[in-house]
Amino acid sequence: MRAVIVAIGVAFLVSLFCTPIAIKVFTRLKAGQPIRSDGPAMHQGKKGTPTMGGVVFILATVIAYVAGHLALTTLPDLQIAQVEPTITALVLLGLMVFSGAVGFLDDFLKVRKRNSAGLNKRGKLLGQILVGAVFGVVALYFPSTMTDATGAKTNTETVGSTTLSFIRDIDALEVSKIGAVIIFIFVVMAATNGVNLTDGLDGLATGASVMVLAAYALIAFWQYRHWCADPSYTQSYCYSVRDPLEIALIAGAAAGACVGFLWWNTSPARIFMGDTGALGLGGLIAGMAMSTRTILLLPIIGGLFVIITMSVVIQIISFRTTGKRVFRMSPLQHHFELAGWSEVNIVVRFWIIAGIGVAIALGLFYSEFLANMT
């Protein structure tokens, strides 16, 4: 637990104190956010606000991960050695960094062209597919090993699984490794675009991501405390996952980094995360669902992202089939802006919706454990 707390604290402080530096640097480089001409009129005042702020909390997460591992070296009573970096960390941090890189390219093109077009849809889609495919293959085809205190190799599971999962793997829903990689690519695309569509108001996506990542930190730490690979755990009901302490550490670090960033990103935002941050967070959240074996629980944990994504899908289908729009504007947050809600009201109420989804998901996760322990 100490290592997770260290990672959270380091990520928060790095993000909190480095974001103002990023604001000055991006302002000097004239890396301001272009605003869509067809967007809400009240957004025109945000034109020129520095973007690409996701660079800060992605970097903070990586630094915090290293700090957390330094803290692990001071834990002589650790039952299962996780001091050295693992394949799990490679997959999770790789998803965050390289998904963020796709977003960074999009942000860079927007800033360079001085318009909101950026990377075309096909290019962004191919980037998401490539990132999902590469780390999906690593997660499914490269089992990781660990060494316990006696020097024996233990727990050679892969990061991902060839079965679909809800609270844990569902044995009846097994697919091939290739099928599992394809499913994961879809999850990466869904999560990255979901967070990206939610990132339309000051602090909205950041705050929602904090809740989702905190939920995954709790889930992963609970799995660590009831881990099948832990020789000191004698209960018959346990979790077969890879490196749950690593997952908890990275999820906690990312959540802490987002809280530090939120200090500057909340209304009125002094910096935006941009596609750099949105796609980076989406990639990490997808990796969390895969590594904790909770893929089908993700739509509940990230309920707000699902609702906002579906508002776009409904709007497109309705307009193309009937010529009419269901919402004044999509994504959904802009519909309420045009309905007269203040930005702060929308953000806080959407945060409440995000919190409800997280609470329901954690309740389902814990109740399943209790049901099988009694």
275 marked among binding-site residues: yes
Residue positions counted in the chain: 374
Q: Cβ neighbours of residue 229 under 8 Å, at least 6 residues apart?
A: 80, 146, 154, 155
Angle between helices 244-265 and 2-28 (to 10 degrees): 40
Contacts with 28 (C-beta within 8 Å, 6 or more apart), sequence order: none
Look-up of token digits 């004698």: 234
In whole angstroms, how far apart are CA 1 and each of 49, 136, 193, 277?
38, 28, 32, 27
Burial class (CB in 10 A: 0-12, 13-18, 19+), 326: middle
Sequence-distant (≥ 6) Cβ neighbours of residue 240 within 8 angstroms:
157, 168, 169, 228, 293
DSSP of 183-227: HHHHHHHHHHHHHHHHTTSTTHHHHHHHHHHHHHHHHHHHHHHTB
Residue 99 DSSP SS3: helix
Residue 171 assigned as binding residue: no
End-to-end C-alpha distance for the chain, whole angstroms: 26
Find all residues with CB under 8 Å of 83, minimum gap 6, and list them: 69, 72, 73
Residue numbers in the known binding site are: 196, 275
Residue numbers in the known binding site for Mg(2+) are: 196, 275
